Structure 1
Amino acid sequence: MPIINLFLVDDHPIIIDGYSNILATTKTDDTTISFTAACSCEQAYFKIIERHQAQKFFDLAFVDISLPTYPAQNLYTGIDVAKLIRYYFPACKIVVLTMHSEPAIVTTALQEINPEGFILKNDINAASLVAAYQAIMMGATFYSSTITKVQKESAIDRLNLDAIDCQILTLLDKKIKTKDMPNYIDLCLSTIEKRKTNIKNQLLKDKGNNAAIVTAAKKLELL
């Protein structure tokens, strides 16, 4: 019978118990779930090393960002633990969990881990945790609503886009031709074209058409 190996890392044992109890309900007659838990960076480090040395692996790890540190191995947050998991178990899917939605924290986690899941704890309940788990195990990504909003706002700020630029992106996504955009935006065509060129330069390193702009914007969750 196939075994799904889950690694749960959170500094509150009661939360780990909650995750275990909820996720255990997803077990089927064809699979069984094995849980490994850690409540600090130090515990996580030794669980990772022990599993690696045993030539075993994790299929999915749920990692809280805020954890007691382990300076001896330069592990100060769950982000550091997640990076260690990526190093030893490249195929392991990672879900970052946090109570913090500050843009700097979200951006750092996205850039350094690129997790398959990213969940603000206040966004989630038992049903949505199961939905996230099932989606990620099927190969999809799952970012909770607040994380998606912060990601979008961070990208907009980083690219220095304003509300009109976002409106132009929306019109491009709707396949509205540039020459027709003055019918939707109270700007002359030349101004819209200049703005579109600026958007294109920021989103695309190489030349690309409107479809390429839209694709790049969607990758950044701007649309």
Structure 2
Amino acid sequence: MTNTLNVLIAEDEPLIISIVTRALHEISRYYKIRHCNIKSVTDYDATLREINEAFNTSPFDLIVLDTNVNVSNDELLDCCKNISAGLKTNFPDTKVIVLTSCSNNYKIHNILKSLNPDGLLIRSDIDFDELLKALSSVLNNAPYYSRAILKLIRLHISNDFSLDHIDRQLLYQLSIGTTMKYLPKVIPLSKSAIELRKRNLKALFLVEKESDRSLVLKAEQHGFI
């Protein structure tokens, strides 16, 4: 580690900002980091602004990002993509730890794919010691995932098949009760193409003659929802 650590915390809860800051100062003392410069922002626009502005000043060594900083669930994936694009353009070496309240495997998968974070922790898994482990691991170039994330990854590794983004989106929409009438409004396919996708998914999960609910339950068991 270097003698200076520049950190951005993107989080809208003051308590979490305080806990992360305390953990960073403890890590700094342990590794004898002389300067720990910490900035905190509370919304998505400010996060992007800090990332872009830092390109002309001092690059961030670490960003601790709450994926829900003042953004709706519907906008979450687009925001993750925008943040990821900004980081890859300006700071390809920046480490990213993502904090999320999402417990839905579909959304967690999208976060992993969109941001490819060095660390990913679900809030319900986090305590102070866990946060210290995550920070230490990531700053030493080793990825860190909390228990729920590791469980999801193991589920996916154990599966002998994979699904594309449209398949995952269709399963997610079925799981929240979206009807066939409205599916073409949220999935970029025609109704007949969606029906074909659904039939293929039922065949894949061995529930060809069963209900959509049976398909959803099978997908949940395999960690896709």
The TM-score bracket by the shorter chain reads 0.5 to 0.7
Conserved 8 A contact 1:11-1:67? yes
1:37 alignment partner, SS class: strand
What residue is the counterpart of 2:114 in the other structure?
112
What residue is the counterpart of 1:192 in the other structure?
none
Q: Matched residues, percent identical?
A: 21
User: Residue 103 of structure 2: which of 101, 104, 114 is its match?
Assistant: 101
1:105 alignment partner, SS class: helix
The CA RMSD measured in Å over matched residues stands at 2.4
User: Residue 54 of structure 2: which of 51, 55, 58 is its match?
Assistant: 51
Q: How far apart in 1 are the matches of 2:89 and 2:133?
A: 27
Matches within 5 A, 1:162-201: none
Q: How far apart in 2 are the matches of 1:30 and 1:149?
A: 34
Q: Residue 87 of structure 1: CA displacement?
A: 2.4
Q: How far apart in 2 are the matches of 1:42 and 1:136?
A: 25
Give structure 2 stretches of 5+ with no counterpart. 163-225
What residue is the counterpart of 1:12 in the other structure?
13
What residue is the counterpart of 1:181 in the other structure?
none
Which structure exhibits the higher relative contact order, with contacts defined as CA atoms closer than 8 Å and separated by 6 or more residues? 2
What residue is the counterpart of 1:65 in the other structure?
67
User: Residue 77 of structure 1: which of 69, 72, 79 is its match?
Assistant: 79
User: Residue 39 of structure 1: which of 38, 42, 64 is its match?
Assistant: 42
Structure (1 or 2) with the larger CA radius of gyration? 1
Conserved 8 A contact 2:52-2:86? no
Shift in alpha-carbon separation, 1:41–1:87, aligned structure 2, 3 A = same
AA aligned to 2:4 is I
Q: Residue 81 of structure 1: CA displacement?
A: 2.3
Q: What is the TM-score normalised by the length of structure 2? A: 0.62
Size of the aligned set, in residue pairs, is: 156
What residue is the counterpart of 1:196 in the other structure?
none
